[in-house]
Amino acid sequence: MNDYSEKGLLPAGLADMLPPAAAREARINRTLMDVFAGNGYLQVKPPLIEFEEHLLEGSGAALASKMFRVMDPVSHRMMGIRTDITLQIARVATTRMKQDPRPLRLSYSGQVLRVYGSQLRPERQFAQTGVELIGPSEASADAELILLAAEALGALEVENFSIDLTLPTLVPTLCKELGIDPEIAVSAREALDHKDAVALESYKAPLNEILIKLLKAAGPADSAIEALEDISLPEAATAQIEALKNVVAQLQQSAPDLTLTIDPGEFRGFEYQSGLSFTVFARGVRGELGRGGRYCLMDGESASGFTLFLDSLMRAVPRRPADDRLYLPFGTSLDQGYALRQEGWKTVAGLAPEVDIEAEARRLNCGQFLGPDGITKLS
Amino acid sequence: MNDYSEKGLLPAGLADMLPPAAAREARINRTLMDVFAGNGYLQVKPPLIEFEEHLLEGSGAALASKMFRVMDPVSHRMMGIRTDITLQIARVATTRMKQDPRPLRLSYSGQVLRVYGSQLRPERQFAQTGVELIGPSEASADAELILLAAEALGALEVENFSIDLTLPTLVPTLCKELGIDPEIAVSAREALDHKDAVALESYKAPLNEILIKLLKAAGPADSAIEALEDISLPEAATAQIEALKNVVAQLQQSAPDLTLTIDPGEFRGFEYQSGLSFTVFARGVRGELGRGGRYCLMDGESASGFTLFLDSLMRAVPRRPADDRLYLPFGTSLDQGYALRQEGWKTVAGLAPEVDIEAEARRLNCGQFLGPDGITKLS
């Protein structure tokens, strides 16, 4: 245990975030929470652990195998460490905040833990920041969320981001309307999700033709909608396309510069979504920046929301120059240091008389020091 | 599971923080981190869980029984959920940041979990925000930390706070110098900590006389120092008193308005401290606001730091009036909403045409709405 390299060793997928990354992540999180608060979203903070059965309801079941569990010696019941915060917000909305007026706008920010990382996201702890809009089922609610995500990314100066819209319920609805066997319906959905044209061709008409058309429709919003309009679909599937068109029209009217794409067959990660869903990407940045969509609360209430992933955002947000640190030589008065900090300086105080103030300032990564003639920049 | 009261039930000592408390806690935390950053402290963020043996070293051993443990299926080793962040910062300082120039100023902010709450703090999850100053052993370092805590509390507008200084090593050092049996030394230290005058009287001279004088010395800094100066102590114990006097002198010179008290026998919670330690209180507020002190890192390096407890701070920080929410009727343009948010408004958008805009604004807890004549305050 005296071996420092061993002492510093952390379990796979867990990491110490060091300077300046940790402050940068905190700044990104602040900006997001500020944008959410500016749009009337109220912060809630559920605990890191709670009774496991509450974390395994609905969409929580999908992450059951990824949840750390501990015994609660107080209640003698099993508790789980949360793998996702969305489900906790849904719990809060349907219990403690059930009586609050709808639309209920909630925001959150916190850490989640998973027993295993995924191939795309090897981290086992990551930070989630997001919002849920509880109550309304109107297209304006879907549009508000997408515009909110865009406003948040704009505040972070993320460039070249796009919103990829999907309808995870489209293929299941279509198959039901066409009287397709449920097992075949699942395989068709998966084939479309995997963009497996050969498999899609193999279904019986008219399903195969529709699936191929859905596959080809994926792309920029305008051309995708044009292609979707050309597909002859049964009633309920058509209604979903109409709802999508409605949201896209609202988005294009409000934010004509927003880059929107549509992939009507994308399904992965949206298993519990009940309507329009979306993923946020930025050009040249590995991993999704976030994802969201419409779902139903346990009590049947409509809800929609999105989560942004801070690890991906760290790769997408432009870096700012390092803080300009100001060295205050030993003996600088408290009042003087305080006044400089109020001006916005990050001060670093000398704790012992210096032999060479300039060298000491440099050693402590300060770009300037307070000299007899005021603030002196180091060359 | 359809019973909402059961669904909302959380394990004892764990809670959902709802609006406006969650945003308030986040605001308090931001203010603290800003003050720390302003003083040159760099943020680090260790993980929530790590190998248990790293969490059990040194002062971590004291919290071993309070640590949740989980098996890491990747490494097949036991991991612990942190009960305290200080120890993780010490680990970072002695491993990954071992080569960084000293003094090394680090800050942190995060959640910790404990298997059991304590009588004074029944919560099993709480938020810790603090700093560590690694390297220097000068009195100026102790003074910097206490002044930093004071600056942070000042920024939060906490009133009537006081810093209670203690020397947890004083009695052990004294007993050693007097050649007292180690078991008796421990009981003497505990008796003084419990302010048990009868027990203190029972020790042999000169220990009993000194202990009673130390007991009586507790109080405001000036009178306490006067009383301490009157006690005849062996060399090493005298040196500790001198070091305390030095820090107090520096504090009184820098911040004459700071309320300082001294309790030379206080020991609880400072079992691993190696020098001057302190507790922060505010008049009329239950619980400590924070605590800190000097300790040694695993590799022998000097360090000192403090942690502030956000749950106590929530009771001490004055409440601000609720955010002024502005209702934007359905159809308000994105640009107009954005411009109002840039002015600082918290906007709440209508998602469907309103029958009565004013009533809708009121229902959604908005103090004003955007009408045809601009922003109209609700009476």
pLDDT digits (tens, 9 = 90+) for A12-66: 999 999 999 999 999 999 999 999 999 999 999 999 999 999 998 877 788 889 9
> Are B21 and B132 in a shared domain?
yes
Share of chain A above pLDDT 90, in %: 88
In this complex, is the C-beta atom of A13 within 8 Å of any C-beta atom belonging to chain B?
yes
- Name the nearest CA neighbour of B45 among A134, A260, A22: A22
Say what the pLDDT of residue A6 is.
63
Q: Which residues of B touch A346 (CB under 8 A)?
A: 37-40
Q: For residues B371 and A82, what is the distance between their CA atoms, to the nearest angstrom?
A: 43
Biggest CA pair distance of chain A: 86
Domain boundary among A127, A159, A191: A159
> Are B239 and B359 in a shared domain?
no
Say what the pLDDT of residue A180 is.
96
Query: Between residues 79 and 118 of chain A, which touch chain B (CB distance below 8 Å)?
Result: 79, 81, 88, 91-92, 94-98, 101, 103, 105-106, 109-111, 113, 115-116
Please answer whether residues B262 and B165 qualify as being in contact, where contact means their C-beta atoms are separated by less than 8 angstroms. Answer: yes
Task: Give the pLDDT confidence of A316-363 residue by residue, as tens digits.
Answer: 999 999 888 999 999 999 999 999 999 999 999 999 999 999 999 999
The region, left, alpha or beta by phi > 0 then psi within -120 to 50, assigned to residue B194 is alpha
CB-based contact B125 A49, cutoff 8 Å: yes
CB-based contact B70 A72, cutoff 8 Å: no
Where does chain B have alpha helices with state H? Answer: 4-7, 21-38, 52-55, 86-94, 139-155, 170-177, 182-193, 197-201, 207-217, 221-229, 235-254, 310-316, 334-342, 357-363
Tokens 């097992």 belong to A183
Band of the pLDDT at B8, cuts 50, 70, 90? low
What is the average pLDDT value for chain B, to the nearest integer?
Answer: 94
CB-based contact B111 A111, cutoff 8 Å: yes
> Are B134 and B182 in a shared domain?
no
Q: Any idea which of A2-11, A119-128, B11-20, B244-253 has the lowest mean pLDDT?
A: A2-11
> Are B243 and B294 in a shared domain?
no
CB-based contact A348 B105, cutoff 8 Å: yes
Task: Give the pLDDT confidence of B10-35 residue by residue, as tens digits.
Answer: 999 999 999 999 999 999 999 999 99
> Are B295 and B341 in a shared domain?
no
Q: For residues A174 and A172, what is the distance between their CA atoms, to the nearest angstrom?
A: 6
Q: For residues B375 and B379, what is the distance between their CA atoms, to the nearest angstrom?
A: 13
> Are B51 and B187 in a shared domain?
no
pLDDT at A119 over 70: yes
Please, what is the Cα angle at B89 between B83 and B40, to 5 degrees?
130
Q: Say if B261 falls within a structural domain.
A: yes
Q: Say if A174 falls within a structural domain.
A: no
Q: For residues A85 and A87, what is the distance between their CA atoms, to the nearest angstrom?
A: 6
Q: Say if A223 falls within a structural domain.
A: no
Please answer whether residues A12 and A124 qualify as being in contact, where contact means their C-beta atoms are separated by less than 8 angstroms. Answer: yes
Which residue in A7, A53, A148, A327 has the most chain B C-beta atoms within 10 A of its own C-beta, making it the best mutation to test that interface?
A7
pLDDT at A239 over 70: yes
Share of chain A above pLDDT 70, in %: 98
Say what the pLDDT of residue B14 is.
97
Cβ-count burial of B65 within 10 angstroms (0-12 exposed, 13-18 middle, 19+ buried)?
Answer: exposed
Q: Which domain holds residue A130?
A: 10-159
Query: Between residues 326 and 365 of chain A, which touch chain B (CB distance below 8 Å)?
Result: 330, 333-334, 338, 341, 345-349, 351-352, 363-365
Domain boundary among A159, A186, A203: A159
Task: Give the pLDDT confidence of B197-241 residue by residue, as tens digits.
Answer: 999 999 999 999 999 999 999 999 999 999 999 999 999 999 999
Question: What CATH number did the domain enclosing A120 receive?
Answer: 3.30.930.10
> Are B206 and B182 in a shared domain?
yes
Please answer whether residues B50 and B80 qualify as being in contact, where contact means their C-beta atoms are separated by less than 8 angstroms. Answer: yes
Say what the pLDDT of residue B1 is.
39
Mean per-residue pLDDT, B352-373: 96
CB-based contact B19 A44, cutoff 8 Å: yes
Q: Say if B39 falls within a structural domain.
A: yes
Tokens 């930390």 belong to B145
Q: Say if B333 falls within a structural domain.
A: yes
pLDDT at B270 over 80: yes
What is the average pLDDT value for chain A, to the nearest integer?
Answer: 94
Identify the helix (H) or strand (E) that includes residue A174. helix A170-177
Task: Give the number of domains in chain B.
Answer: 3
pLDDT at A2 over 60: no
Band of the pLDDT at A267, cuts 50, 70, 90? confident
Band of the pLDDT at A379, cuts 50, 70, 90? confident
Q: For residues A260 and A265, what is the distance between their CA atoms, to the nearest angstrom?
A: 15
Q: For residues A329 and A345, what is the distance between their CA atoms, to the nearest angstrom?
A: 15
Task: Give the pLDDT confidence of A274-295 residue by residue, as tens digits.
Answer: 999 999 999 999 989 999 999 9
> Are B240 and B106 in a shared domain?
no
Mean per-residue pLDDT, A115-141: 93
Q: Say if B372 falls within a structural domain.
A: yes
Query: Between residues 172 and 211 of chain B, which touch chain A (CB distance below 8 Å)?
Result: none
Give the number of other Cβ atoms within 10 Å of residue A344's Cβ: 10
> Are B249 and B343 in a shared domain?
no
Say what the pLDDT of residue B173 is.
96
Q: DSSP 3-state assignment of B130?
A: strand
pLDDT at B299 over 90: no
Describe the strand order of the beta sheet including B368-371 as a list of residue ranges. B346-349, B325-328, B368-371, B374-377
Say what the pLDDT of residue B314 is.
97
CB-based contact B97 A136, cutoff 8 Å: no
Residues 6+ apart with CB under 8 A from B335: none
Domain boundary among A159, A178, A207: A159
Task: Give the pLDDT confidence of B110-128 residue by residue, as tens digits.
Answer: 999 999 988 877 899 999 9
Q: Which amino acid appears at position A286 of this protein?
A: R
> Are B122 and B40 in a shared domain?
yes
Q: For residues A225 and A218, what is the distance between their CA atoms, to the nearest angstrom?
A: 9
In this complex, is the C-beta atom of B23 within 8 Å of any C-beta atom belonging to chain A?
yes
Q: Say if A39 falls within a structural domain.
A: yes
Band of the pLDDT at B2, cuts 50, 70, 90? very low
pLDDT at A189 over 70: yes
> Are B37 and B130 in a shared domain?
yes
Please report, for residues A62, A221, A241, A256, A336, the alpha-carbon distance to residue A262 in angstroms, rounded to integers and kept in the order given: 25, 5, 11, 16, 57
Say what the pLDDT of residue A7 is.
63
Q: Which residue of B has its CA nearest to A14?
A: B47
Q: Say if B277 falls within a structural domain.
A: no
> Are B347 and B366 in a shared domain?
yes
Say what the pLDDT of residue B118 is.
84
Extract the tokens encoding A312. 């991906």
Please answer whether residues A363 and B101 qualify as being in contact, where contact means their C-beta atoms are separated by less than 8 angstroms. Answer: yes
